Amino acid sequence: MATFVNNLRLKEITTGDEDGTWGTSTNTNLELITDAFSYGTKQMAADANETFTMPNATADATRGFYLKITSGVSLTGTRVVTLGPDTVNKVWVIENATTGGQTITIKQGSGGSVDIPTTATQMLYADGAGTGAAVAKVNSAAGGIAYVAKTANYTTKNLEGVLADTSGGAFTVTLPATPSLGDQVVIADAGGAFGTNNCIAGRNGSTIEGTAADLNLNINGVSVQFVYSGSTWEVYAQVGGNGGDVVTLTGTQTLTNKTLTAPLLTTPILSGITTTASGSMEFAPANYTMVVRGGGSDEGSITLNCAVNTHGQTITSQPHSATVTNTMLLPAGADSTLVSLVSTDTLTNKTMVDTVYALSGLALLATNGGVQTKTVGSAIAFTDSLVSGDAIVLMLEAGASYTVTWPTMTWVTSAGNVAPTLTAKDTIVLWKVGSVLYGAYTGSYV
């Protein structure tokens, strides 16, 4: 008989069992093993203590390496989450994503437990010792950065952080003379005075970011990490430099001879960037296309201001709901102005060609084209979809052979408002003024 006495509750098949089905069980075991390296979410159903038990040979988020614990309700106090079975010896990374701003306590048996504050994440292990099982934090490895405080010139060493206070005057922190791959040094502004009295990172025979120059730290509150790559000191943290002034995230500074690779500019103000003698700004994307992204309920737009920037005209994409992707070519020829849908314009040197449309339905609709044809194959009833100002020419075939019903309309004939008698082929003009649909029979074209 199969057993499940292992830390992932996998099915352990007894020798000779499951003839013909062992492959299914083995595949399930392999999937559960991958689950043990994955991310899972478990939800506390109520404002109460909860137990999450890893089931035998069944997929469950409790088995995941990273376990995010949420709550279906807002917690009002510290709640205990018990991880079962109490015989499982396992490492978890657990995130407290519950609502209510409360701590959760992780336990397995009657032994030790670990508190995880709201929004915090903790790596821990369960010893699987049965009813007395304990949970404990996984501590960071020894050998981290050790800090020293300095107010004057100092030569640092590997795995050392220097809290440099330059409030009494500038000085130099010299990097290790013979660094090895992976050596690390941190220099931090302990006095908040680097901007007034600079701290100099002395290269001590090595290069910094590939440059044979010392690094001038001149930004208040900066903390810079140096990691030796085997050939140069690499500079990390929120700032970086190359034998010169450090660049900050928020400071207003001028960059010279810098290449920005795939930059993401958030609400930038670009000025004085020119590539031509006239001062024009030129862009050269790899595919020669510039995209203005939309977001939320706003479509991508470009606004062109007037000379004094008191008003402007905006070019905006069609809305998302229109599902339009197309290309609009600007007009060729001499200088010209684009025609608006709503403005009153005079068109010059234009040829207007209307569409001849074979009417498949029965709606009289001007947008189908000014000339429309219809062959009658059974009794039909046209419907009016024209609006005031619309007009169409309808060429009707076989109208005499079937009953043709017209919408409510006024016929313009010498005999008054009388519908025409149709023949084999007829031409009818239809137009609308206000809410009144008019029709005129022009004759047969047999």
- Residue ranges of domains in the chain: 22-137, 146-236, 356-444
Percent helix / strand / coil, the chain, rounded to 5: 5, 35, 60
Residue 95's pLDDT is 94
Identify the residue with better confidence: 346 or 108. Answer: 108
Q: Quick one: pLDDT band at residue 430, thresholds 50, 70, 90? A: very high
Selection from 395, 405, 402 nearest residue 428 by Cα: 395
Residue 142's pLDDT is 44
- Coil, strand, or helix at residue 60? coil
Residue 238's pLDDT is 56
**Long-range pairs of 153-161 with CB within 8 A, sequence gap ≥ 24:** 155/204, 156/185, 156/187, 157/185, 158/183, 158/184, 158/185, 159/183, 159/184, 159/185, 160/185, 160/186, 161/185, 161/186, 161/187, 161/188
Average pLDDT on 27-44 reads 79
pLDDT at 104 over 90: yes
Assigned fold of 146-236: Jelly Rolls (2.60.120)
CA–CA distance, 293 with 300 (Å, rounded to integer): 5
- Coil, strand, or helix at residue 262? coil
User: Tens of pLDDT along 351-401?
Assistant: 888 889 999 999 999 999 999 999 999 999 999 999 999 999 999 999 999
Q: Quick one: pLDDT band at residue 22, thresholds 50, 70, 90? A: low
- Percentage of the chain exceeding pLDDT 90: 53
- Among 153-162, 237-246, 288-297, 433-442, the least confident range: 237-246
Cα dihedral: 386, 390, 391, 395 (round 10)? -30
pTM for this entry: 0.33
User: Tens of pLDDT along 40-51?
Assistant: 999 999 999 999
Q: Quick one: pLDDT band at residue 292, thresholds 50, 70, 90? A: confident
Element (H, E) at 126: strand 121-126
Q: Quick one: pLDDT band at residue 24, thresholds 50, 70, 90? A: confident
Residue 138's pLDDT is 79
